[in-house]
A and B are shown apart, each in its own frame.
Chain A
Amino acid sequence: MAAPFPRWVNTLARATLIAAVCTLVGVPVALMAWVRTPNATRRFQPVAQPIAFDHRIHVTGQHIDCQYCHFSVERAASAGIPPSSTCVPCHSTVWMNSSALSLVRQSVATGTPLHWNRVNALPGFVYFNHAIHVNKGIKCENCHGRVERMARVYQAAPLTMSWCVDCHRTVRAPTNCTTCHR
């Protein structure tokens, strides 16, 4: 009786087995590598904003401290985005007529807040708090990079759980789950 399969099927069967093992191992490994890349964590991607606000001009050029605008950072969970009235004292003369600031003028006139796009955003099940970190002496650039050198702010840290927990382990901050998840 003739063999039901030709000889090369042996090679095919072996190749298929190897390919199956490679896929089973390789796909999870590739996915795990992928979630750690800046692309997946959305690092280093400048975020476009309705107003071309430039931290370089204001912090490096005008020597304005971060806290002048993000003033709740020392006492609240959120660092806060400055209300448009913050911009007025300086911009009532400097650049106030330029089209770059028309949205600010409109916002101040109508009392409606500006809508900035989020850059750093944690998922809803994580409860981050700025006050504790800043009061314990952690500098903004440890987590946000050199914002004063960014034309458009981008997310500088991965903001993954391992990033938070690695630091918490080294500085002996609490690492039980309810510290960050409630």
Chain B
Amino acid sequence: MRRPCVITAAIFALALFVGACSKSSEREPGDFERMRIQQRDEPYAPGELFANNERLRQPPAGTVSRESESDTGAIGSGMQAGRMTAVVPLSITPERLALGQRKYTVFCAVCHGAGGFGGSIVAVNMGAPRPPSLRSAAMAAKAPGYFFVIATHGIGRMPGYAPQLTVEERWAVVAYIEQLQRSTTTPPEARADSLRALGIRRIDSVLASEQRR
């Protein structure tokens, strides 16, 4: 009767002693969280592996992206035979225009306004040079390649949007800007017909959105 009690008490005491010996400060950091904090690299987390103390790597200086290298034609560069491409080199479908509108609203409307007239809140807050209207006659006269090159590399104060937008998305934006410009240069009835010819439905709402400032 007596002996099991003594043995149990001894085991408890030993366990307590061993537990107290390893202070939490002596453990590896995160030892209690071994399951929650794993060795997998979280994006953006700091790390000791590389010299810059980041887990995301910077490409070495002078790196050329595969996308831009494999696409030196009209689609990848917006240039053809040394001049700006005069037509959008991808087919213009209603889906592509819808993609272009979505991406335009996110990435360009901030500064150039929802309808492309310039004068968004940000543009008003910005000092000169302000984001210009994309629907002026001078802008409408530019080739689509011009807008593609600017969307890719930026101009002056405006940054390039190549990291944010894929090549296809950039052309979709250009195609959408072209449609915006046409809505300035064509009378409303002819505009409705040309939208119908592109296979676009709900013409009224499209016409309304094109005039939004």
Identify the A interface with B (CB < 8 A).
Answer: 61-65, 67-68, 71, 77-78, 80-81, 85-86, 88-90, 92-94, 111-113, 115, 123-125
Give every chain A residue within 8 A of B105 (Cβ-Cβ).
Answer: 65
| Interface residue SS majority, chain A | loop
**Chain B interface size range:** 20 to 34
Q: In this assembly, does B75 line the interface, its C-beta being within 8 Å of a C-beta of chain A?
A: no
Q: Give B109-120 as 1s and 0s: 1 = Cβ < 8 Å from A's Cβ atoms.
A: 111000000001
Q: In this assembly, does B95 line the interface, its C-beta being within 8 Å of a C-beta of chain A?
A: no
Q: Which of B15-23, B33-41, B76-84 faces chain A?
A: B33-41
Q: Write the chain B residue with the least CB distance to A81.
A: B44
A87 CB to nearest B CB, Å: 11
Give every chain B residue within 8 A of A80 (Cβ-Cβ).
Answer: 43
A89, B121: Cβ atoms closer than 8 Å: no
Identify the B interface with A (CB < 8 A).
Answer: 35-40, 42-44, 46, 52, 54, 56, 58, 105-107, 109-111, 120-122, 125-127, 157-159, 163-164
Q: How far is the CA of A29 from the CA of B61 in the complex (A)?
A: 58
Q: A62-B122, A112-B52, A125-B36 are in contact. List 5 more A-B contacts (CB 8 A).
A: A77-B43, A81-B44, A89-B158, A124-B36, A125-B35
- Chain B CB count within 10 A is highest, among A61, A78, A89, A112, for A89
A62, B110: Cβ atoms closer than 8 Å: yes
Which of B38, B106, B120 sits near A124, CB closer than 8 Å?
Answer: B38
Q: How far is the CA of A62 from the CA of B121 in the complex (A)?
A: 6
Q: Write the chain B residue with the least CB distance to A124.
A: B38
Which of A64, A71, A78, A113 sits near B110, CB closer than 8 Å?
Answer: A64
Q: Write the chain A residue with the least CB distance to B127.
A: A93
Give every chain A residue within 8 A of B110 (Cβ-Cβ).
Answer: 62-65, 68
B121, A124: Cβ atoms closer than 8 Å: no
Give every chain B residue within 8 A of A124 (Cβ-Cβ).
Answer: 35-40, 42
A94, B125: Cβ atoms closer than 8 Å: yes
Q: A113-B54, A124-B38, A125-B38 are contacts. A63–B121 as well, Cβ < 8 Å?
A: yes
Q: Write the chain B residue with the least CB distance to A79.
A: B43
